[in-house]
Structure 1
Amino acid sequence: MVAAVRDRRPGDLDALAAALVEVHRVDGYPVEGVADPHAWLTPPGTLHAWVATVDGVVVGQALARTAQPEVAAVDAWVRQGGDIATTIVGARLFVAPAGRGHRLGTRLARTLTDWAVHHALDIVGDVMAKDTAAIALYERLGWHRLGTTMHDTGRGTQVPAYLYASREP
């Protein structure tokens, strides 16, 4: 099996949407649900996106978004001395069950990090407290916990989340 990470292409979205629906069924990610997977996969402010593949089949993604005020991780970063002008939000990182066991989550996160370093940008993001594998991944990569927040699921409920940055402020 050949596992790889590459830039996302427009033709990848249908396969990504199917992978996302499966991830939500198995893991409950994203907590907002997947009523419109294509919209969730292509949020406003997307700067760059990557996909993970196994034998050419798309099984996951990660993306970089512009940093905006009133995003919990961005606000925590700025309060701790970070500069919003040189910050991006790492988001939408997932790997479907069919792609697990190939370290693709790590490869996606490292690709995002390398891209940010190349562009002299810091990365922030949030991880739901229930997503222990994602928390372990970011901490293994040396990301720093900035704090905690309650994440609005958009369905009238909130869930606890941890805020992370790719480096210390």
Structure 2
Amino acid sequence: MTKIVVRPITDADIPGAATALVEVHATDGYPVEGVEKPEAWVRPTGIMGAWVAEREGKIVGHVAVMQPHDEGAVSLWREKSGEAVERIGVLARLFVVREARQYGTGERLMRAAMGYAQESSLRLVLDVMTKDAAAIRLYERLGWQHIGEVTHHFGAGQQIPAVCYVWPAD
């Protein structure tokens, strides 16, 4: 039986998480930006909490809850709900290497982030690119609610459609 451990990230995990990120980018094209500096992408400013999934000593997944910026899903949710920006967290930087997906790793990472949000009295929102169908299926299966669409801008004038969700926990 393969055991996946989900736990808060440590500084020692950053290189392994960066390696996993590069692997996910090669197989899935996620993320669309940031892989040229994967350690910085895994550990940007504005992190409220972050977790890794580990399998047999190897980092195989990651998720973070980020401070909100009034754009994308944050803006859509604030318009719909009137929620104060201080009560919102952004679920971000979720990735799992292909070999670890069959063990419910993505769901376990999501549940760690959702548990943190619940303990911190935060409403979670997220943007996901429409091309990332497996992630969309996971969010919907976990009860996240669709709140609208945005365009994600990146790189030198590039853009890609994205869907926005809110986690409806009280």
TM-score bucket of the superposed structures, by smaller chain: over 0.9
Q: Mapping of 1:40-55 within 5 angstroms?
A: 40-55=41-56
The SS at the match of 1:29 is coil
For the 8 Å contact 2:146–2:166, the answer to whether it is kept is: yes
Equivalent residue number for residue 135 of structure 2: 134
Q: Which residue in 2 is equivalent to 1:79?
A: 79
Q: Verify the 8 A CA contact 2:34 2:41 in the aligned structure 1.
A: no
Check whether the contact 2:123–2:169 (CA below 8 A) recurs between aligned residues.
no
Matched residue SS, 2:25: helix
Give the Å deviation of 1:33: 4.6
Q: Distance in 2 between matches of 1:33 and 1:72?
A: 19
User: Over residues 30-65 of structure 1, what are the superposed CA-to-partner deviations in whole Å (9 max), with x where a residue is unaligned?
Assistant: 012511101111121101110011122111100011
Structure 2 distance, partners of 1:99, 1:159, is 27
- Which consecutive unaligned segments of at least 5 residues does structure 2 have? none
Q: Which amino acid aligns with 1:161?
A: A
- Tell me the amino acid that sits aligned with residue 118 of structure 2: V
Distance in 2 of aligned mates of 1:9 and 1:150: 33
Q: Which whole-Å CA distance do the structure 1 matches of 2:131 and 2:159 have between them? A: 12
Q: What SS does structure 2 have at the residue aligned with 1:100?
A: helix
1:18 aligned to 2:19? yes
User: Which residue is equivalent to 1:155?
Assistant: 156
Please name the residue that 1:35 is paired with.
Answer: 36
Partners of 2:105 and 2:84 in 1: CA distance: 30
Paired residues, number: 168
Determine if contact 1:87/1:124 at 8 Å carries over to the other structure.
Answer: yes
Distance 1:98 1:155, change over 3 A: farther
Stretches (4+) displaced over 6 A: none
**CA root-mean-square deviation:** 1.4
Secondary structure at the counterpart of residue 102 of structure 2: coil
TM-score by length of 1: 0.95
**Amino acid of the residue matched to residue 67 of structure 2?**
T
**Farther-moved stretch of structure 1 (139-148 vs 81-90):** 81-90
Do the aligned residues in 1 keep the contact of 2:123 with 2:166 (CA within 8 Å)? yes
Hey, what's the Cα distance between the residues in 2 that align with 1:10 and 1:98? Answer: 24
* Structure 1 unpaired stretches of 5+: none
Contact 2:118 2:169 in 1 (8 A): no
TM-score, normalised to structure 2's length? 0.94
- Where 2:49 maps in the other structure, the secondary structure is strand
The secondary structure found in structure 2 opposite 1:80 is helix
1:106-125 to 2 correspondences below 5 Å = 106-125=107-126
Distance (whole Å) between structure 1 residues aligned to residue 26 and residue 150 of structure 2 = 24
Secondary structure of the structure 2 residue equivalent to 1:52: strand
Amino acid at match of 1:17: A
